[in-house]
Amino acid sequence: MYKVRFIYNPYSGENTIITDIDKVIMVHQKYGYEVVPYRISFDFDMSRAFENMDETYKYVLVAGGDGTVDTAVNHMKNLGIDLPIAILPVGTANDFAKFIGIPEEIEAACEQILSSKPRKLDIGKINDKYFVNVASTGLFTDVSQKTDVNLKNTMGKLAYYVKGIEQLPNFRKLKIKVSSENAVFDGHMYLMLIFNGQTAGNLKFAYKAEVSDGLLDVIIIKSGPIKDMITLFIKMLRGDHLEGSPGLIYFKTDRIEVECHEDIVTDIDGERGPDFPLVIECIKQGIEVLGVNIQE
């Protein structure tokens, strides 16, 4: 019998995975798989999830949000574990899982995963860390880190918007230098987003992004009058297309370098990212993923 290492975060989202574990086991048994679970907690972090894995393991199943998936991918890359990964979207932010067409219902997701073949997809890399969906810096990038966990679990993505709106009076220009073969920007900005996926907070910003084109989609919101920024922020909340908006730069590239001496952090799918300077790359077809249901 083949095995699958099932990594789940019981605290993701609204804790729904706890009541769905039987469905995960049921569907896998039907396909001839033995589920070997690993529960993430404060006492048992992701670093121990990949112990005692051998050739009988066929893939890694991760139940959680984008941050949990990122952590799993980074450990697998660092340990040289070359197995397909599959995602059960049970976190607060499940942008990447939605991008690749994974159903929210757990039984349906497991069926789709187990009846599929692995597909090679791009991933991003920022300095020495990998990310699946989006890296960012500038205003709002620390919103998810500052938003109370209970608020996130109760209000979902609305919690991010509430916290983000609270930051509007604190707008300040941030000096940044961005260099790539496709575009150069040396000036003041408010926000920079680097997408491997298409959405952040379920809002489609990088609507041109593709899963295996070897390119990242970069959006820079330049500094300008606050009234224009508020108008643009409202468009972001509505999910309107941003390309062509005044004060916004949108381009695709496989590699960029970013320099910044401001007191700001970077963010990788809701988790703290590395410090500046940054080298951000697209690793073309860098991971194998099961259950992908998206056409290009």
Burial call 82-119: b when 16+ CB within 10 Å, e when fewer: ebbbbbbbbbbbbbbbbbbebbeebeebbbbbbeeebb
User: C-alpha distances in angstroms, 169 versus 85, 118, 172?
Assistant: 42, 46, 9
Which pLDDT does position 161 carry in this prediction?
47
Which pLDDT does position 170 carry in this prediction?
59
HEC-encoded secondary structure of 121-189? EEEEEECCEEECCEEEEECCCCHHHHCCHHHHHHHCHHHHHHHHHHCHHHCCCEEEEEECCCCEEEEEE
Quickly state the pLDDT bin for 95 (edges 50, 70, 90): very high
Express each pLDDT in 130-180 by its tens digit: 999 999 998 766 555 455 554 444 444 444 544 555 555 556 789 999 999
Read off the tokens for 223: 């500094």
Q: Which is it for the CA torsion 17, 23, 28, 34, positive or negative?
A: positive
Could you give the domains of the chain? 2-116 (3.40.50.10330), 129-282 (2.60.200.40)
